[in-house]
Amino acid sequence: MPPSRSLTRRQIYRRRRIVVFGGIGLALASLVYLPLTLLAPLKPAVATVTAPVEDAPVVPALAFPGYGASAIGAVGYPGVLAQSGATTALPMASITKVITALVVLDAHPLAVGETGPTATMSSADAALYGTYLAQNGTVATVRAGMTFSERQLLELTLIKSANNYTTSMAIWAFGSQEAFLAAARSWLAENGLDGVVITEPTGIDRSNVAPVDQLVELGRIALAHPVVAEIVATRTTDVPPLGALPNTNQLLGLSGVDGIKTGTLDDFGANLLFSADYTIGASTVTVIGVVLGGPDHDVIDRDILTLLESTVANFTEVEVAADAETFASYEAAWGDTVAAVAGERATLLVWSDTPVTVEVVTEELRTGHAGDDVGDLVFTSGTSSVTVDLELAADLEDPGPWWRLTNPVALF
C-alpha cells in the first residue's frame, strides 16, 4: 500500500504559520513603506541656466578737441568715462570759483530759497576792483557800504565770475584769505581732490591747477549741492544795485547744457567745466565734462557741443530682459520640465561698448505654481545694474502617489 499523501497536522500548522506571519510582515512593511514614499519630501528639481549673451553696442568714437585736455564723466559713473590730452594738472582759471563757493557753503550752509547772512563791503573790498581790473580780470562795480547777501555773493562769483566779489566773499566767510586757503585745502583733501592746487580764491593766478579727471569729480560735487546746481544753471540774475548779470557760460540752454563754470587766462586759454542732461529711452543721464586750454570760448563752445553729441551717442538703452523671456529651466526627477522666466521687461543704460553680463540666481525648487518667485536676474554693465525677479512660467506639480510608490530610488 503506497504511503499516505495527507498532510500531517504539524505540516498544516507550519504552513498556516508561514501564511499568517508572512501577511503580518507584509502588512508591517506596508505600514512603513507607504508613509515613507507617500510623505517623503521630493528631491529638488535640477536648475539649468539658459541665459542669452548680450552683444556690446556699436558706438561712434568720441569727438574730443585736438588741443589742451578734456574729460567726460557722468553722474552715477565713478571716475571719468574717457579723457584726451594732458593728464597733468593744468590751470583752472575761474573754475577755481566753484571750489571757493563750495568751501564757503561748507562753512556757511545755505539752502535753496534762503539768502543767508549779509556782508557789508569795506574800503578794502572796494580796492579789490582796481586790483583785478589791472590784471585784466572780470570785475563788478563795488563801493564801500554796499551790502550783499551770501546768496548774492555766490551769484556774483558763479554767474558774473567777478574776481573782486569772489575774494570779498572768501574773506567775509573766513576772516582772511590765508584762513580761506587753509579751509580750501582741507576741503579738497576731504573730497579726495588731492591733485588740485589752490593758491588764491579766483583762479586768476595760473598756479591754481587741476587734472581734468579731478575736475569732473568737482563737477559731480557741485551738482550734488542744490544751491550751486541752481546758480550755475541760471542764465541771468539780478543783483541790486548792480542790475542784470548774464552768465559767462554761453552754452546754457543749448543741447541740454545746464552748467557749470567758465574760465579764461590770457596766457593759457579758455576753459569750461560743463554739465548737460539727456533722456535716453526711459533713462536719464547727467553728463559732466571739462575742456581746458582752448583757443577761445567760441571755439571750445562749438567743440563741446560736438563732444556732447558724440557722448550721448555712446549711451545706449539696452533691453536686457523681455517680459516672460526664459533664462533658466527646472527639470524634476519625474520628468516634468518648467521654464523660469523674467518677471518683467528690463532695460539698462550702457556706456560705449561696455559689456552686459547677467547673473542668474536660482532658488531650490520641488514644486511650485506659475508666477512663483524662484530667484533673481542681476544684469550689470560697468557700475550700473538692474535686478529682475525670476518666475516660474507654469506649475510644477507633485508627481502623485503612484509615481512615489513605484520610484522609491528617486525619493531616497
Q: Binding site residues for substrate, as ranges?
A: 261
CA–CA distance, 380 with 395 (Å, rounded to integer): 30
Long-range contacts formed by 190-196: CB under 8 A, 24+ apart: 191/217, 191/221, 192/217, 193/217, 193/218, 195/89, 196/89, 196/92, 196/99
Report the SS3 class of residue 16: helix
**CB count in 10 Å sphere of residue 205:** 17
DSSP string for residues in 270-307: EEEEEEEEEEETTEEEEEEEEEEEES-HHHHHHHHHHH
SS3 112: coil
Task: With CA atoms as reference, report the closest residue to 236 among 227, 246, 228, 226.
Answer: 246
Burial (CB count <10 Å: 0-12, 13-18, 19+), residue 347: middle
At 32, list the grid cell: 512603513
385 forms beta bridges with 380
Environment class of residue 185 by beta-carbon count within 10 Å: exposed (0-12), middle (13-18) or buried (19+)?
middle
**Known catalytic residues?**
94, 97, 161
State the Cα–Cα distance between residues 204 and 198, nearest whole angstrom: 11
HSE of 255 in the Cβ direction (CA atoms, 13 Å)?
17
Residue 148: strand pairing partners: 119
